[in-house]
């Protein structure tokens, strides 16, 4: 006899009502109860991502590496965009690594409720796990890409500055928070309005240009900086350059702004998600 | 009414209703200008329509709204096995989805005591690229188990499914039988207090079905509660203690299984419902009989309203007493309610060989794009064994066709255009 069926009189009662409001606490407890499912959804996404490819995880190296080459040739060499005191390839790779993670995580996550519509209409579990899984799964790629970043940077004769390099884990947390904050919105909106599928690529392309990936932050006029730093990736990317290349001082202000903006996006995104998730099965 | 549940109730449903919004009526224009203006305003209208999918203003026109469930109340005691019966579209699946928390009710309340597991589909979340072991963990945690609980039962699950040797093989290399056995096995080992299941037993070979039914029975004998939907009357009678009969979203009857099933079977006689097991107005030698026919989206839900121009499956469930059927051929004729024949699909015409079939099963006829105009249609099914009519039964199931999305122009052809819709284009010559 299993533990939960031994005493019927004391087992919990699940109540289902129309427009049932639940406390954030009970919602959180439920998500926590399903934490193992998040683990396996992440595992599924990791396993499936490179299935039937020749290079497999090689792509997590090749993707940022090719992007670095393209940026270095077109923006660094041909357009002559300044990379400050660092060779352009290392300069761009330090930004391409977090950017690639963000791009893949947000692209996959924003469509996740649509691509998992079968699950949504057939089984109950906290829906928030669906957009979170691709964000978790991308971390494997990110870890490999960060390894690549160190190899390239060292090859250019740059030694990552100590102790700034220790900021990397914190920057990864900021990056994950930023990806989550935006993805939760896009996924929830995308379940109802399929326009999101078309808007997301354009949005991400625009975001690339308002993030210091191909240029240095100092190119941005001083008076626009406060607005510019509202883009949560500005703090992350500048932070990566400071931590790995030692370029510029640690951008505490931009990182703090990134944290606040992502937190606000994630909080309101979660509230919106919770409001609309009860209808996902009806509109999937 | 909303007080705590008494100790002898496992599931209590009170005044449950569920409203869905269906396709919105399409406006028609009488001038080019009006048409152009409508095209320009289309995004706004689309937005309103999408937004309103889940929004219902009071006093709204009822035309676009259907009540899949209307004021349904019942109780289930622990240890009861409750069968849920009714015709296609009666609200059975919606009720299961509400009980399983997949969709939210519009009104009413449900209390479920203890741990609830729902099984609306076998192998939900199974991924073909993952191994059997990985899928067991993914599916098990999805159904509400912890990783540790799945791990503790893994050996049992794998043994029950009889796939010990293939546990580390990707499930895409499994035979469909192995796949289904593994998927059911995970669900069978959930050990819930309340198990909610859709006709999942209609899968797998006969021997495995027996095993599954045995498992369901032992769940109930362990003092736990099972609620399940089935079109298989014999199974409902043998497995269930109580039954509920839904019709058009309302509770038509509730009680001991034999009473409810007798009433339900009587009502099905001679009706246009999809379940024709109790129909006697048949022709043929009866070597094989049509049990049910229905119309569904490819591999998906049963449809009562079918969008024209879209793919469609006509499904015929059959039951033959002897297992060696010989060469079977099947045909379905689509007719209007006035008995005008519109078209016939047949395995002889398509050249599909249906030899060596099992004694019971499901024949599926896939139609690429249904070319029918708006209206109500019915199916007449004929099964032949070795060229001799075994079963012929008219008006086995009915469906409504919605043709508003057939043409890219979104112009509604109107029923005066005739029963068939043709893809076409116009050009000027000479």
Question: Could you please report the per-residue DSSP string of B172-237?
Answer: GGS-HHHHHHHHHHHHHTS--SEEEE-SGGGSS-HHHHHHHHHHHHHHHHTT-EEEEE-S-HHHHH
Tokens encoding A215: 């240029």
B121 vs chain A: nearest CA distance in angstroms? 7
Where does the pLDDT of residue B25 fall: very low under 50, low under 70, confident under 90, or very high at 90 and above? very low
Rounded distance between C-alpha atoms, residue B311 and residue B297, angstroms = 7
Q: Would the pLDDT of A41 be above 90?
A: yes
For residue A179, what are the CA distances in angstroms to A184, A231, A264, B126? 9, 12, 13, 27
Q: Would the pLDDT of B267 be above 80?
A: no
Kindly state the average pLDDT of the residues A24-30: 88
Identify which of B113, B125, B141 has the shortest CB distance to residue A8: B113
| DSSP-assigned beta bridge partners for residue B251 | B246
Rounded distance between C-alpha atoms, residue B107 and residue B31, angstroms = 44
Rounded distance between C-alpha atoms, residue B200 and residue B232, angstroms = 11
Chain A residues in contact with B53 by the CB 8 A cut-off are 192, 279, 282-283
What residue of A is the nearest CA neighbor of B47? Answer: A193
Contact A44 B127 (CB under 8 A): yes
What residue of A is the nearest CA neighbor of B94? Answer: A282
Q: Does A4 touch chain B (CB under 8 A)?
A: yes
Kindly state the average pLDDT of the residues B356-366: 84
Residue A195: HSE in the Cβ half-sphere, 13 Å Cα cutoff: 9
Q: Does A53 touch chain B (CB under 8 A)?
A: no
Coil/strand/helix, residue B145:
coil
Return the percentage of chain B with pLDDT > 90, whole number: 22
Kindly state the average pLDDT of the residues B100-128: 86
pLDDT for res B2: 40
Rounded distance between C-alpha atoms, residue B115 and residue B112, angstroms = 8
Neighbours of A98 (CB within 10 A): 27
Alpha-helix runs per DSSP H in chain A: 24-33, 35-49, 58-71, 88-110, 112-115, 117-120, 129-155, 168-192, 196-209, 225-228, 232-240, 252-277, 280-283
Whether the complex's predicted ipTM is more than 0.95 is answered with no
B375 vs chain A: nearest CA distance in angstroms? 25
pLDDT for res B356: 74
Q: Does A32 touch chain B (CB under 8 A)?
A: no
Chain B residues in contact with A278 by the CB 8 A cut-off are 103-104
The whole-angstrom distance between residue A39's C-alpha and the CA centroid of its chain comes to 17
pTM of the model: 0.72
Strand-pair category, B107-113 with B375-385: unpaired
A97 vs chain B: nearest CA distance in angstroms? 28
Rounded distance between C-alpha atoms, residue B147 and residue B133, angstroms = 12
Instruction: Name residues whose C-beta falls within 8 Å of residue B242's C-beta, 6 or more positions apart in sequence.
Output: B76, B80, B81, B82, B83, B254, B255, B256, B257, B260
Identify which of A36, A51, A192 has the shortest CB distance to residue B141: A36
Contact B109 A47 (CB under 8 A): no
Q: What is the pLDDT of residues A125-163, one digit of tens each?
A: 999 999 999 999 999 999 999 999 999 999 999 999 988
pLDDT for res B124: 80
Rounded distance between C-alpha atoms, residue B140 and residue B146, angstroms = 8
pLDDT for res B50: 75
Rounded distance between C-alpha atoms, residue B291 and residue B277, angstroms = 5
Identify which of B102, B114, B193 has the shortest CB distance to residue A121: B102
Instruction: Name residues whose C-beta falls within 8 Å of residue B413's C-beta, 6 or more positions apart in sequence.
Output: B373, B374, B403, B406, B407, B421
For residue A208, what are the CA distances in angstroms to A64, A252, B24? 14, 21, 40
- Strand order through the sheet with B65-76: A13-17, B107-113, B11-21, B65-76
Mutate to test the interface with B, among A11, A14, A274 (most CBs of B within 10 A): A14
pLDDT for res B47: 79
Contact B47 A282 (CB under 8 A): no
Tokens encoding B62: 């009822």
Mean pLDDT, chain B, rounded, equals 81
Instruction: Name residues whose C-beta falls within 8 Å of residue A104's C-beta, 6 or more positions apart in sequence.
Output: A134, A138, A141
Chain B residues in contact with A117 by the CB 8 A cut-off are none
Helix B132-142 with B176-188: angle, nearest 10 deg: 40
Q: Would the pLDDT of A40 be above 90?
A: yes
pLDDT for res A8: 41
Neighbours of A268 (CB within 10 A): 13
Rounded distance between C-alpha atoms, residue B391 and residue B330, angstroms = 10
Q: Would the pLDDT of B26 be above 70?
A: no
Neighbours of B287 (CB within 10 A): 19
Contact B102 A193 (CB under 8 A): no
pLDDT for res B4: 47
Chain B residues in contact with A124 by the CB 8 A cut-off are 100-102, 118
Identify which of B53, B134, B142 has the shortest CB distance to residue A37: B142
Element (H, E) at B40: helix B32-52
pLDDT for res B76: 92
Chain B residues in contact with A192 by the CB 8 A cut-off are 50-51, 53
Where does the pLDDT of residue A173 fall: very low under 50, low under 70, confident under 90, or very high at 90 and above? very high
Q: Would the pLDDT of A33 be above 50?
A: yes
pLDDT for res B328: 85
B413 vs chain A: nearest CA distance in angstroms? 27
- For B220-250, letters b (16+ CB in 10 Å) and e give beeebbbbbbbbbbebbbebbebbbbbbebb
Q: What is the pLDDT of residues B180-231, one digit of tens each?
A: 888 888 887 887 888 888 876 655 566 777 777 777 777 777 778 889 887 6
CA-nearest of A203, A206, A186 to A108 is: A186
Alpha-helix runs per DSSP H in B250-316: 257-268
CA-nearest of B334, B363, B331 to B350 is: B331
Gyration radius of chain A over CA positions: 21
Contact A47 B112 (CB under 8 A): no
Chain B residues in contact with A33 by the CB 8 A cut-off are 144, 146
Q: What is the pLDDT of residues B321-333, one digit of tens each?
A: 665 667 888 999 9
Rounded distance between C-alpha atoms, residue B370 and residue B422, angstroms = 10
pLDDT for res B24: 44
Kindly state the average pLDDT of the residues B300-304: 73
More confident position, A125 or A56: A125
Chain A residues in contact with B14 by the CB 8 A cut-off are none
Contact A16 B98 (CB under 8 A): yes
B253 vs chain A: nearest CA distance in angstroms? 23
Mutate to test the interface with A, among B17, B48, B69, B114 (most CBs of A within 10 A): B114
Could you give phi then psi for residue B194, rounded to 5 degrees?
Answer: -130, 120
Mean pLDDT, chain A, rounded, equals 89
Coil/strand/helix, residue B365:
strand
Q: Does A26 touch chain B (CB under 8 A)?
A: no
Q: Does A69 touch chain B (CB under 8 A)?
A: no
The whole-angstrom distance between residue B397's C-alpha and the CA centroid of its chain comes to 14
Rounded distance between C-alpha atoms, residue A60 and residue A54, angstroms = 13
Mutate to test the interface with B, among A192, A198, A282, A284 (most CBs of B within 10 A): A282
pLDDT for res B62: 55
Alpha-helix runs per DSSP H in B53-146: 92-99, 132-142
Rounded distance between C-alpha atoms, residue B382 and residue B216, angstroms = 35
Q: Would the pLDDT of B28 be above 70?
A: no
Could you give phi then psi for residue B251, rounded to 5 degrees?
Answer: -80, 115
What residue of A is the nearest CA neighbor of B15? Answer: A17
- The listed range with the strongest mean pLDDT (A53-62, A201-210, B94-103) is A201-210
B297 contacts B303 by C-beta, under 8 angstroms: yes
Contact B138 A43 (CB under 8 A): yes
Q: Would the pLDDT of B115 be above 60?
A: yes
Strand-pair category, B341-346 with B11-21: unpaired
Q: Would the pLDDT of B122 be above 90?
A: no
CA terminus-to-terminus distance, chain A: 39
Identify which of B51, B142, B191 has the shortest CB distance to residue A2: B191
pLDDT for res B57: 54
Kindly state the average pLDDT of the residues B416-424: 84
Q: Would the pLDDT of A10 be above 50?
A: no
- The listed range with the strongest mean pLDDT (A248-262, B216-230, B277-291) is A248-262
Inter-residue long-range contacts of A224-229, CB under 8 Å, 24+ positions, other chains counted: A229/A253, A229/A254, A229/A257, A229/A258
Question: For B47-127, where are the E strands, in sequence order?
Answer: 65-76, 81-85, 107-113, 116-119
Could you give phi then psi for residue B253, rounded to 5 degrees?
Answer: -155, 155
Contact B102 A48 (CB under 8 A): no
CA-nearest of A206, A230, A209 to A219 is: A209
Coil/strand/helix, residue B151:
helix
Count of residues for chain B?
430
Kindly state the average pLDDT of the residues B399-413: 78
What residue of A is the nearest CA neighbor of B136? Answer: A40
pLDDT for res A4: 35
What residue of A is the nearest CA neighbor of B54? Answer: A279
Contact B104 A20 (CB under 8 A): yes
């Amino acid at each position: 006899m299993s533990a939960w069926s031994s005493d019927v009189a004391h087992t919990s009662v699940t109540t289902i009502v129309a427009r049932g409001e639940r406390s954030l606490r009970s919602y959180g407890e439920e998500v926590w109860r399903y934490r193992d499912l998040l683990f396996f959804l992440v595992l599924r996404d990791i396993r499936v991502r490179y299935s039937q490819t020749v290079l497999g995880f090689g792509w997590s190296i090749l993707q940022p590496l090719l992007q670095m080459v393209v940026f270095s040739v077109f923006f660094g060499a041909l357009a002559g965009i300044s990379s400050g005191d660092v060779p352009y390839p290392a300069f761009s790779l330090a930004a391409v690594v977090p950017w690639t993670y963000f791009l893949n995580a947000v692209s996959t996550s924003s469509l996740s409720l649509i691509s998992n519509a079968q699950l949504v209409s057939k089984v109950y579990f906290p829906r928030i796990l669906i957009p979170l899984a691709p964000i978790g799964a991308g971390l494997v790629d990110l870890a490999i890409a960060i390894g690549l970043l160190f190899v390239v940077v060292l090859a250019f004769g740059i030694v990552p500055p100590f102790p700034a390099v220790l900021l990397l884990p914190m920057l990864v947390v900021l990056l994950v928070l930023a990806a989550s904050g935006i993805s939760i919105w896009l996924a929830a909106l995308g379940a109802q309005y399929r326009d999101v599928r078309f808007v997301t690529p354009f949005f991400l392309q625009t975001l690339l240009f308002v993030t210091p990936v191909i240029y240095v932050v100092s190119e941005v006029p001083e008076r626009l900086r406060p607005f510019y730093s509202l883009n949560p990736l500005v703090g992350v990317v500048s932070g990566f350059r400071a931590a790995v290349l030692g370029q510029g001082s640690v951008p505490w202000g931009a990182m703090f702004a990134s944290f606040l903006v992502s937190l606000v996006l994630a909080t309101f995104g979660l509230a919106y998600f919770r409001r609309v998730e009860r209808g996902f099965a009806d509109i999937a | 009414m909303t007080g705590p549940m008494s100790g002898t109730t496992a599931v209590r449903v009170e005044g449950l209703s569920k409203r869905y919004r269906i396709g919105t009526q399409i406006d028609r224009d009488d001038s080019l200008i009006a048409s152009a203006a409508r095209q320009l305003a289309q995004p706004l209208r689309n937005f309103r329509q999408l937004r309103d999918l889940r929004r219902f203003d009071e006093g709204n026109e009822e035309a676009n709204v259907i009540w899949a469930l209307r004021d349904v109340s019942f109780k289930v005691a622990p240890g009861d096995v409750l069968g849920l019966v009714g015709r296609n579209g009666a609200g059975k699946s919606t009720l299961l989805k509400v009980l399983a928390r997949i969709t939210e009710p519009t009104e009413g309340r449900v209390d479920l005591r203890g741990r609830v597991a729902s099984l609306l589909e076998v192998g939900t979340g199974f991924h073909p690229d993952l191994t059997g072991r990985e899928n067991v963990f993914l599916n098990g945690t999805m159904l509400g188990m912890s990783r540790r609980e799945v791990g503790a039962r893994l050996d049992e699950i794998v043994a029950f499914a009889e796939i010990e040797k293939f546990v580390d093989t990707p499930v895409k290399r499994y035979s469909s039988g192995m796949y289904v056995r593994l998927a059911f096995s995970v669900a069978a080992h959930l050990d819930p207090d309340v198990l909610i299941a859709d006709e999942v037993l209609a899968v797998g070979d006969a021997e495995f079905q027996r095993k599954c039914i045995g498992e369901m029975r032992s769940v109930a004998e362990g003092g736990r509660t099972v609620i399940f939907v089935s079109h298989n009357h014999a199974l409902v009678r043998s497995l269930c203690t109580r039954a509920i009969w839904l019709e058009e979203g309302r509770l038509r009857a509730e009680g001991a299984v034999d009473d409810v099933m007798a009433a339900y079977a009587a009502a099905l006689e001679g009706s246009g419902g999809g379940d024709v097991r109790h129909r006697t107005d048949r022709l043929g030698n009866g070597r094989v009989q049509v049990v049910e026919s229905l119309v569904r989206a490819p591999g998906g839900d049963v449809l009562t309203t079918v969008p024209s121009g879209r793919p469609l499956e006509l499904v015929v469930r059959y039951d033959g007493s002897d297992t060696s059927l010989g060469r079977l051929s099947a045909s379905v004729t689509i007719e209007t309610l006035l008995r005008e024949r519109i078209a016939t699909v047949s395995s002889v015409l398509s050249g599909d060989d249906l030899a060596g079939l099992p004694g019971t099963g499901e024949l599926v006829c896939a139609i690429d794009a249904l070319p029918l105009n708006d209206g109500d249609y019915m199916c007449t099914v004929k099964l032949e064994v070795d060229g001799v009519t075994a079963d012929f039964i008219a008006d086995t199931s009915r469906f409504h066709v919605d043709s508003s999305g057939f043409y890219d122009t979104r112009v509604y052809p109107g029923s005066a255009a005739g029963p068939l819709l043709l893809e076409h284009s116009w050009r000027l010559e000479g």
